[in-house]
């Protein structure tokens, strides 16, 4: 028995394979600051423009956002009876724009930039917003610098009293005159609405849902703007 | 029997010796392996510390870069805002200039018409005085021609007054008063 035990003990050799090297650091565990260059806020700011419209009787300032092919979406009321429309970007570039159409039953208008260059473009979300969802309103309140305001969707409300064909988005977010036409974007940076009004007493923002915009774009239900 | 026991003892002793030697060798291998692993562990620990330091430095650099980018973007936004507002002002000034040019033309037309009206009234007055003097002197006076001229002057002056009223209306409209 003693001999067998001794023999058995003699069979145990040290392992020759190298030890498993422990992970030095799991990159997912490292707390890195948000990379601003790719942040949703920055991207949203880059696609949002300031719209200046010289009309027959008024000088209008508002916001808008860029789509593919130099198309800019804004509010109809920002560019009433336009004589000269200019678009300013957040970083100081200016573009002459032409009003290509306004919606007859919604506060929406489309502009086209003469030479959009490499302007980044916004992406539209096809899925409706949900109550409580986090969003950002981007625009140029007061005609001032670009501003990104976080908030959340309060719900949908009948838009017919406001001249809209369907429900509009009620959103708890800081907006002001000059924000009109700016995009309401979700946490992924997709446009879910077009800011167009404020409930003055409650300070609640209202936005035309992007579905209404898509319907107008698809159906081509846009007309020429009014002339002087 | 004794011989067998003796043989067994010898075999056992030999086996024990062989096993002991082998165990000593294995122990030496284990010790060597342990030292090797300890060195490997120390190297890995050192490498980990080095990478952690590098990561920390990189993280700090990234934070600094982000802060710099944020500050630069704030500056870009401020400059873009100034530029946009300057363009607003330029546009407004352009509009005001156009308004003043249009108003100036309307007023100029009205003033010219009124000035011409006054000249024609002076001429009519002179002709009337002359006609009055001729009548007093018993000479013939062409009253019909004088009346026709007065009608023409009145019509012209009414047009001038209309132009002046239009200019006033244009001023109200363009200046928003």
CATH number of the structural domain spanning residue A86: 2.40.10.10
CB A76 within 8 A of CB A64: no
Neighbour count for residue A147 (Cβ, 10 Å)? 23
Domain membership flag for residue A9: no
Question: A90 lies in which domain range?
Answer: 39-120+219-223
* Residue A29 included in any domain: no
What is the ipTM, given to two decimal places? 0.79
Q: Let me know how long chain A is.
A: 228
First to last CA, chain B: 142
CB contact burial A84-102 (16+ within 10 A = b; e otherwise): ebbbbbbeeebbebebebb
Is the CB of A52 less than 8 angstroms away from the CB of B87? Answer: yes
Query: Do A93 and A158 fall into the same domain?
Result: no
Q: Which residues of B6-19 are buried (b: 16+ CB within 10 A; e: fewer)?
A: eeeeeeeeeeeeeb
* Count of domains observed in chain A: 2
Q: Could you identify the residue written with the tokens 């970083």?
A: A91
- Asked if A114 contacts A94 with a C-beta cutoff of 8 angstroms, the reply is no
A212 shares a domain with A138 = yes
Q: Are A95 and A138 in the same domain?
A: no
**Token digits of residue B9:** 């003892």
Question: Does A126 reside within a domain?
Answer: no
**Span B121-138, mean pLDDT?**
94
Q: Where are the alpha helices (DSSP H) in chain A?
A: 2-10, 40-47, 210-219
Does residue B163 belong to any structural domain of this protein? yes
Q: Tokens for A127?
A: 């899925």
* Inter-chain CB proximity B88 and A37 less than 8 Å: no
- Banded model confidence at residue A143, pLDDT cuts 50, 70, 90: very high
- Model pLDDT for residues A46-99, shown as the tens digit of each residue: 999 999 999 887 889 999 999 999 999 999 999 988 989 999 999 999 999 999
From the list B40, B51, B80, the residue facing A145 with the nearest CB is B80
Instruction: Dump pLDDT digits (tens) for B10-53.
Output: 999 999 999 999 999 999 999 999 999 999 999 999 999 999 89
Q: How far apart are CA A29 and CA A24, in angstroms?
A: 11
Considering only CB atoms, which chain B residues are within 8 Å of A42? 73
Asked if the structure places residue B83 within a domain, the reply is: yes
Total structural domains in chain B? 1
Q: How far apart are CA A74 and CA A54, in angstroms?
A: 15
pLDDT at residue A2, rounded to an integer: 47
* CA dihedral sign, ordered A153, A158, A162, A163: positive
pLDDT in tens, A91-133: 999 999 999 999 988 999 999 998 888 899 999 999 999 999 9
Residue B22 within any structural domain of the chain: no
Domain around B92: 49-175
The answer to whether the Cβ–Cβ distance between A94 and B87 falls below 8 Å is yes
The pLDDT tens digits for A176-194 are 889 999 999 999 999 999 9
Name the β-bridge partners of A66: A72
Q: Do B79 and A92 touch (CB under 8 A)?
A: yes
Which residue in chain A has the smallest CA separation from B24? Answer: A10
**A91 included as an active-site residue:** no
Contact check, Cβ <8 Å, A25/B51 = yes
Residue of B54, B80, B82, B96 to mutate, interface with A, max A Cβ within 10 Å:
B80
Has residue B11 been placed in a domain? no
Q: Residue A107 catalytic?
A: yes
Residue A186 bears catalytic tag: no
């Amino acid at each position: 028995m003693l001999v067998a035990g001794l023999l058995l003990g003699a069979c145990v050799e040290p392992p020759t394979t190298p030890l498993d090297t422990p992970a030095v650091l799991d990159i997912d565990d490292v707390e890195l600051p948000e990379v601003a260059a790719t942040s949703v806020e920055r991207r949203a700011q880059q696609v949002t423009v300031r719209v200046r419209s010289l009309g027959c009787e008024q000088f209008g300032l508002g916001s808008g956002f860029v789509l593919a092919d130099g198309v800019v979406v804004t509010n109809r009321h920002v560019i009433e009876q336009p004589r000269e429309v200019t678009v300013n970007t957040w970083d100081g570039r200016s573009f002459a724009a032409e009003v290509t159409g306004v919606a007859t039953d919604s506060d929406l208008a489309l502009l086209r930039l003469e030479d959009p260059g490499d302007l980044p473009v916004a992406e539209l979300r096809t899925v409706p917003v949900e109550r409580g969802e986090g969003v950002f309103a981007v625009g140029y309140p007061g005609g001032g610098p670009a501003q990104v305001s976080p908030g959340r969707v309060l719900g949908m409300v009948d838009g017919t009293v406001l001249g809209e064909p369907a429900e509009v988005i009620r959103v708890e977010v800081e907006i002001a005159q000059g924000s009109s036409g700016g995009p309401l974007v979700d946490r992924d940076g997709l446009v879910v609405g077009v800011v167009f009004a404020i409930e003055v007493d409650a300070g609640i923002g209202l936005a035309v849902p992007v579905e209404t915009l898509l319907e107008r774009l698809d159906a081509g239900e846009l007309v020429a703007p009014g002339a002087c | 029997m004794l011989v067998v026991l003796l043989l067994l003892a010898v075999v056992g002793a030999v086996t024990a010796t062989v096993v002991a030697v082998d165990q000593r060798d294995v122990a030496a291998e284990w010790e060597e392996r342990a030292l090797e692993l300890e060195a490997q562990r120390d190297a890995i620990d050192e490498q980990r510390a080095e990478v952690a330091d590098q990561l920390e430095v990189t993280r700090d650099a990234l934070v600094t870069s982000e802060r710099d980018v944020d500050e630069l973007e704030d500056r870009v936004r401020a400059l873009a805002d100034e530029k946009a507002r300057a363009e607003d002002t330029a546009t407004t000034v352009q509009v005001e200039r156009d308004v003043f040019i249009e108003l100036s033309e309307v007023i100029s037309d009205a003033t010219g018409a009124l000035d011409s009206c006054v000249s024609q009234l002076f001429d009519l007055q002179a002709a009337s005085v002359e006609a009055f003097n001729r009548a007093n002197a018993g000479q013939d006076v062409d009253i019909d021609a004088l009346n026709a001229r007065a009608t023409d002057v009145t019509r012209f002056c009414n047009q001038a007054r209309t132009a002046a009223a239009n200019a006033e209306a244009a001023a109200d409209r363009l200046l928003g008063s």
